[in-house]
Amino acid sequence: MAIRAASVCTSCGNALAWSRGPERGSREIRKAKGLSFGTLKRAQPGDFMAMKQKIDELNENEVAWVKTQLENAAKFVEGFSPADSAQPLTLAALDRAFAAWIASDPTEVDLINAIINYVGIAFGQVLVDGIGLGLRWVIATDEYGSDLAVYGLPNQGDVLIYPKDFVAKRWERRETNFLEEMYPKIAHDIRELFRSWQSS
């Protein structure tokens, strides 16, 4: 099965295979590892194994969990970027809080995981609210397990973004100030994918 849609990430130049790829790899926007955009454009049926995700809507408990993570993200900003705490939560505020938190050299594993969840879910909610195009929270399940994801453009590109993994990868590299920078690039790529589908 050929890749349904491909694009180049404007932030890093990597080829992106939206919900299709040769392996699971990183679960942020699917990167087709080792491939150029030209290779993806020339892909023939059978070149890539389709990832078979089952997409389920969130249940009541999962919706409540997302809400709790958003509340905790605001508390996280209050603790690590107090100047931003009196305003609505923004990506810039999350970036500042995340950078301050990284600078504190955290080591407690449970706290690290919790903060990755707070920041990842807040970033995902900004994608859902800001990009539009029907993006929504889902539980995506495949042979590797189930996880919370932002899903959109079904049968038009099948975009799956795993915001918690997106943040976790930056934590591993101790990267900071990426949320506000990446949002417009991801939004651009998704909108380009949608326009490409409309014109095909």
Per-domain residue ranges for the chain? Answer: 53-199
Half-sphere exposure in the Cβ direction for 121 (13 Å, CA) = 23
Give the closest residue to 22 by CA, choosing from 46, 53, 41: 46
Angle made by CA atoms 91, 96, 101, in degrees to the nearest 5: 120
Q: Beta-strand (E) ranges in 39-194?
A: 54-57, 136-142, 145-152, 159-161
What's the pLDDT score for residue 51?
54
Give the closest residue to 190 by CA, choosing from 145, 157, 149: 157
196 is written with which tokens?
């490409």
How is residue 83 annotated by DSSP? G
Give the closest residue to 197 by CA, choosing from 152, 166, 165: 152
What's the pLDDT score for residue 16?
36
What's the pLDDT score for residue 104?
97
For 53-199, the fitting CATH number among 2.60.40.1730, 3.20.20.70, 1.20.120.1090, 3.40.1010.20 is 1.20.120.1090
What's the pLDDT score for residue 194?
92
Global pTM? 0.76
What's the pLDDT score for residue 157?
81
Q: State which residues of the chain have pLDDT below 50.
A: 1-50
**How many Cβ atoms are within 10 Å of 21's Cβ, its own excluded?**
22
